[in-house]
Structure 1
């Protein structure tokens, strides 16, 4: 019975570790994509609309949506930033991410709008996942599922190699 129980716990620890390691890798990839190199294209605003954009339950926030034709491709951008209040025909410059093809920056009339995702949520998720991973491994050591040295070596190696692998890929 003890052998069966250890196998079940070992499998559970392995699956939870894989999931948490995946969260760390995904968030590192989000951060790497956020700061990826960009290339510049020029275009012009095709259309502009305003609308309500619910943010944290507040219905009064006004969003700006613009469609831009640049280098034969159409980019549709929606954000809460008032810098997107651009008239149709306005010339713009877009910085496009080489990692995923999303618009990182929009420049128009001397102003620049940063359209990249924030860093707070990915950093908090990385921290929480690594904390949970440490708790899982501490629990595994206390239940004598793994030898302590092997557990901490695996945790340190995984925590170091997962972000490195993602950054090298990008």
Structure 2
């Protein structure tokens, strides 16, 4: 029984570590999505069109542009849809994220293209991971592997440290 309890304790700890990592990673994705950005002005150097099947839509067309900036940096941007259908030489303004150097917005003429990742998938993954983590801890307490006080302390410590770890990176 002692060996079984140790194996189960180790399994619960590893699953908890994995699920906590998923939650932290998705919080990082959400924090990076809305991180502060700085503006860079440049112009389109090249434009390519390509077929990129998205969600079963075989007719979806992707546009890839390359932008040279006044500071000498070179950016390559790909998106699905007509927002990036820009001719070479077109002046553009990029809003570049300070968190990960990704492009959040592209402004050309009077239009603005939002290039940030969506929020639905990270939020669903966070909810699923937290539900699974709760189920793992509930099962561990019911099987008397963890004492209830240790479980609540671990959850409280994780809840306090996860946001700190995410926002220290940003």
Return 5+ residue gaps in structure 2 as ranges: none
Q: Residues 78-129 of structure 1, C-alpha deviation per residue, up to 9 Å, x if partnerless? A: 1013111111100000011111111111000011111010111111101100
Q: Residues 30-65 of structure 1, C-alpha deviation per residue, up to 9 Å, x if partnerless? A: 111111111111000001111111102221111111
Give TM-score, length-normalised by structure 1.
0.95
Distance 1:95 1:168 in 2: 22
Aligned to 1:105: 105
Does residue 4 of structure 1 match 2:12?
Answer: no
Give, in angstroms, the shift of residue 153 of structure 1: 2.8
Does residue 13 of structure 1 match 2:12?
Answer: yes
Which runs of at least 4 in structure 1 moved beyond 2 Å after TM superposition?
none
Aligned residues: 169
Distance 1:93 1:25 in 2: 32
Give TM-score, length-normalised by structure 2.
0.95
Distance 2:64 2:111 in 1: 17
Q: RMSD across aligned C-alpha pairs, in angstroms?
A: 1.1
Return 5+ residue gaps in structure 1 as ranges: none
Query: Which range moves more in the overlay, 10-19 or 67-76?
Result: 67-76
Aligned to 2:143: 143
